[in-house]
Amino acid sequence: MTLPRSTPSAQGVDAFGLLAFVEAAERGGLGLHSLIVARHGQVIAQGWWRPYTAERVHLAYSLSKTVTATAVAFLVQEGRLSLEDRVLDHFPEIDRGSVPSGWHDVRVKHCLSMTVGHEDDAWARVFDRSAGTDYAAPDDWVPRVFATAPTREPGTVFAYNQVATYLLSVIVGRVAGQGVSEMLRPRLLAPLGLPDIPWHRDPLGRELGFSGAHLTTEGIASIAQLYLDRGRWEGRQLLSPSWVAEATVAFGPHNEDPLTPPDWARGYGYSFWMQRHGYRGDGAYGQFLAVLPEHDVVVAITSEQPDMQATLDALWEHVVPAVDRPGSEQADAELAAVLAGREIPAMAGGALGPDHAEFTRSSGSDLSGDYTAVSVTREEGGHVLGLERRGEWLRVSVASGAWVESALVAGGATLPVVSSGGWVDEDVFRAEVIAIETPHRFRVEARLRGGDADLTWRMVPLTGDDPLWLSTRWAT
């Protein structure tokens, strides 16, 4: 734990408002995996939905951009990088004559603020997982990025754009002589008492920057607190207050898409979205780092859900009004008990089933087509679920009514998972497999009568439909 602990009422917050948020999130299917709320620099509410736990990291998706921007901030305040640097100047190997002219005046500040001049996200033109492109292909993505021509002058149009932060990650590595994770260790992670950050990386081993950081909930809350306190941590000024002030206000034009949800239409700073109350970093499927300066509050959330605006709406409806509202020790205790008891229900099966059975993949599956068959084998204490991938069998432990940990191992990747399930009747075996360092899970339903099995994601990861692509552990 890096932040001190207190209670809601001791910090002037009505715990019933926080409890109402949790209840609204569960009622609305917002798929919470963890929650930390802090006020006046002290944690007043914390909870993890088992099997998620406090010590585990969680894929933060685009919240990673805030980490990368913070790495840029340190290099700027050390005088090793300038917001006015032309991005191309950090890539002398790129032939200027081959680069579309729109890139020639793109500055570091344009990458931070998503105003490089693209009118949409250029990432799909750089890398397309659905087209079969392999992360392991040993090529450099930087030339692909510079081949995507900006269509407007830099600074004149906003487009949420993965390539912008990817370039910042590469620049950090070149200027610092080490990757984002390594250069942040003495500057950010060690002072805040945080563990190293696992990342998804490109084929040359560089952090993606725009996605792929895996953070603990405490880590998210601690970074939020650092920004709330204008870069100061335990009496030491880590980040320049001027950087915090500049990074956390809208830069350039706002998002002009008419379908933009309210809290995505208030402008974008240097990796931070402006919102009705304060500002935030966020990531797909509901990863939040929210800073509410006017209330001296930070909120960290991890989850798996499709409607991120709904989470923010619930915060504004329940949490914000609870600040400076009288609370009580009774409400504090009730909130703590509720949060301590949260869990994702484990699947169970009471039928015996055969000792061993094999199934072919059904046409209704949306897991990668590389997974072609399923097996179920009884063992002491549960079952072993087999998944055939490219002719190799991956094996996952499954317990009935409880989550048991194992790993998917194949193709040089190791992905930690927890699973539960069993035979629900004489015909059907069901299991749920959670990629426990990510928001994601998939379900297996195998049927003896038809000899087939469905392999279906709850929500397909942005990394693609193969679970192994979620891994940060790859054999070298």
Residue spans per domain, the chain: 9-340, 356-474
Contact 183, 74 (CB under 8 A): yes
**How far apart (Å, rounded) are the C-alpha atoms in residues 175 and 179?**
9
pTM of the predicted structure, to 2 decimals: 0.96
Phi then psi dihedrals of residue 78, to 5 deg: -85, 0
Longest dimension (CA), the chain: 69
Q: What is the CA radius of gyration of the chain?
A: 23
Indicate the helix (H) or strand (E) that contains 396. Answer: strand 392-398
Which DSSP string do the residues of 357-422 spell out, in sequence order?
EEEEEPTT--S-TTEEEEEEEEETTEEEEEEEETTEEEEEEEBTTB-EEEEEEETTEEEEEEEEEE
| pLDDT (0 to 100) of residue 381 | 87
Q: Which CATH number fits domain 356-474: 3.40.50, 3.30.429, 2.40.128, 1.10.287?
A: 2.40.128
Helix (H, G, I), strand (E, B) or coil at 154: coil
Count CB neighbours of 333 within 10 A: 12
Tens place of pLDDT for every residue, the chain, 476 residues? 689 999 999 999 999 999 999 999 999 999 999 999 999 999 999 999 999 999 999 999 999 999 999 999 999 999 999 999 999 999 999 999 999 999 999 999 999 999 999 999 999 888 764 444 455 556 789 999 999 999 999 999 999 999 999 999 999 999 999 999 999 999 999 999 999 999 999 989 999 999 999 999 999 999 999 999 999 999 999 999 999 999 999 998 888 778 889 999 999 999 999 999 999 999 999 999 999 999 999 999 999 999 999 999 999 999 999 999 999 999 999 999 999 999 999 999 989 999 999 999 999 999 999 999 999 999 988 999 999 999 999 999 999 999 999 999 999 999 999 999 999 999 999 999 999 999 999 999 999 999 999 999 999 999 999 999 999 999 87
All residues at 6 or more sequence positions from 317 whose CB lies less than 8 Å from its CB, including other chains: 21, 24
All residues at 6 or more sequence positions from 251 whose CB lies less than 8 Å from its CB, including other chains: 109, 112, 113, 115, 267, 268, 269, 270
Contact 408, 467 (CB under 8 A): yes
Question: What are the residue ranges of helices labelled H in 147-247?
Answer: 162-176, 180-184, 190-192, 217-228, 241-247
| pLDDT (0 to 100) of residue 444 | 98
Count CB neighbours of 350 within 10 A: 10
DSSP structure class, residue 121: -
- Cis ω on the peptide bond leading into residue 461 (within 30° of 0)? no
Q: Are strands 404-410 and 392-398 parallel, antiparallel or unpaired?
A: unpaired
Domain 9-340: give its CATH code. 3.40.710.10
Helix (H, G, I), strand (E, B) or coil at 296: coil
DSSP structure class, residue 294: G
Question: What are the residue ranges of helices labelled H in 177-293?
Answer: 180-184, 190-192, 217-228, 241-247
